[in-house]
Amino acid sequence: MEGDSDGSKYAVYVCYPPFVMTPNQMVFMSVMKDQGKSAEEAYMTVANIASCYMGNIMLPSCAAPDRMKHCGIPTYIENGKAVEMKSRDDGSDYEKEGDKSEKDTIAEKEDDWEKGMDEDYKNMLKMMPVKARYECNEGHMMHRTWNWNNSKDFTGEWGWCRKDGSYEVPRCEPRTSYTELEFKLHIGNEKKLRDSNDRVFAGIVLARENSGIENDEEGKWEFGCNDGFNNNAAGAICRTLGFKHGAQIPTTKKMRVMPYQPEEMPGFGWTGFNCDFDDTLPKSSSCRALPMDDAIEMIGMKAQCFDFDRIAVKCFDSAIFNVTVSLTYSNKKISCRAKANKERNAINLGEMKGIEAKFMMDETELNERQFYNMKKGFTMKVANLKGQDFKCISCEIHVGGMMLGKTERCKAEKN
C-alpha cells in the first residue's frame, strides 16, 4: 500500500508466507542513528517501508525465517497495531517449555548463516524484535494470546516468535460481532477425573459463545464433534481452564452419564476444530472450526456426528516425562518414593530398564539390598539408624547414567 509521512509518500510492503520481512539495513540504521530511536522503535517505524535516497531504491527484504533468525513479527495486525516491542537482547525470556535457547539454535547453524552476510547485517538481525504488544483500533475488542510464561509483564496483549519462524499475535474483532468461547468438562460418574485441588482435569467438552459483555445473555452449551480434532486444539481448550496442555481421549460409559432430560440434551454445535500449534487459545488465527450446520451444508451426511463422536480431553501441566521424589526413614528402613508421569499417565519405574535408586548417608553411599513397588517406591532395609551419626539421608533416581530426581531429609537442628 501507499503511505504518507510529513508530506512524503512511501511504499509499504508485506511478504508472502512463510517468508519474513526484514527492514532495509541502511534505512533501519539511519533511523536509529539520526532519530535516536531504539532498535525496537526503529523496527516499528520502518520494518516494511521502502524509500528513495539519492536516486537509489532501498527496499526491505523477504527471506526464509531460518536465515533471518527472526519471524518478522508484524507492526500492524488486522484492526490493530503494535505499540511496544522487545528483542532477544533485552534480557527477557521468550523460550517455550523444552525449547533450546536462542543462542544454541544460532550456534548450530552459524556457518551457514554467515555465508554471504557481512558482520553489520548480522548484528542488525540480532536486534530484530521477537515479541510485540498490540492494541486494537477504536470500536474493536481483542482476542488475547495465551500468557505462556505467567508473567505480569507479558499479558494476552503480546505476540511472540516461534522457533519455526511463525508467530502468534492477538486478534482484533469489531465490538458488534465480538464473542468469547467458554468451556467446561463433563465427567458424569467418573469421580477420578478431579485432581487434588478438586479441579476437573478431563471429561467431555461443552462450549458456548458469549458476547463478552457483562450481564449480556449467555449462549447455550453445545458438544463438539471430534472429526478433524487434534491434540493442539485439546491444549487450546485446556488453557482456557487453567492448564498448560491437553490431549484428546476416548469417552467412557461413566463419563457419558448426562444430567439432562432428552429434550434438554445439548446438540453438536461445531466440528473440525484443530490448531496448528500447542501454545494457542481457541480464538487464535492458528485454530479453526466449522459450525455444524455449515459442515452439513458443505459435505452433507459425511459431517453427521453421533454420541460416540463427542470431543473429550485430558488436561495437564507437563507434556514431558517427569519424576518427583520424596523420602521417609525410620530406625530400620528408608523409603524413596519416586513417582513418574507423562501427560497425567502414571509410569511404573520398575519396568524401565536401567532404573536404580542411590541411597546416601551424608557423603557415603549405602549398599544394602533394595526393593521396588509402585506404591512405596524404592525401599532399603538398614540396621539401627538411631545409633549412627549423620546429618542427612538422600535418595537419587538414575537411569542410564542420568539423574532423574533427588531428595533428602536432614535431622532437625537442636532446639
Instruction: Indicate which CATH number applies to the domain containing 304.
Output: 3.10.250.10
The answer as to whether 383 is a domain residue is yes
Residue 28 above 90 pLDDT?
Answer: yes
The answer as to whether 214 is a domain residue is yes
**Is 225 found in the same domain as 337?**
no
Residue 50 above 50 pLDDT?
Answer: yes
Query: How does pLDDT run across 364-391, given as a tens digit for each residue?
Result: 899 888 888 877 889 998 888 877 888 8
**Is 293 found in the same domain as 378?**
no
Domain termination residue (choose one: 149, 174, 199):
174
**Is 208 found in the same domain as 280?**
yes
> Which residue, 359, 360, 329, 355, is CA-closest to 340?
355
Mean pLDDT of the chain: 86
211-220, 273-282, 341-350, 376-385: least confidently modelled range? 211-220
**Is 228 found in the same domain as 195?**
yes
**Is 167 found in the same domain as 150?**
yes
- 192 Cβ neighbours under 8 A, 6+ residues apart: none
And the C-alpha cell for 382? 538398614
What is the pTM for the complete model shown?
0.77
Which residue range(s) make up the domain with 355? 322-410
Whole-number pLDDT of residue 196: 80
Q: Which is more confident, 175 or 65?
A: 175
Number of domains in the chain: 3
CA pair distance 224, 307, nearest whole angstrom: 10
**Is 369 found in the same domain as 249?**
no
**Is 220 found in the same domain as 135?**
no
**Is 400 found in the same domain as 254?**
no
The answer as to whether 344 is a domain residue is yes
Q: Which is more confident, 162 or 387?
A: 162
The answer as to whether 130 is a domain residue is yes
Domain termination residue (choose one: 251, 283, 316):
316
- 317 Cβ neighbours under 8 A, 6+ residues apart: 243, 244, 245
**Is 406 found in the same domain as 285?**
no
Domain termination residue (choose one: 281, 316, 351):
316
The answer as to whether 259 is a domain residue is yes
> Which residue, 363, 370, 367, 357, is CA-closest to 398?
357
CA pair distance 366, 360, nearest whole angstrom: 6
**Is 165 found in the same domain as 88?**
yes
The answer as to whether 100 is a domain residue is yes
Residue 286 above 70 pLDDT?
Answer: yes
Residue 351 above 50 pLDDT?
Answer: yes
Residue 384 three-state SS: coil
**Is 341 found in the same domain as 232?**
no
CA pair distance 64, 68, nearest whole angstrom: 7
Instruction: Indicate which CATH number applies to the domain containing 355.
Output: 2.60.40.10
**Is 169 found in the same domain as 43?**
yes
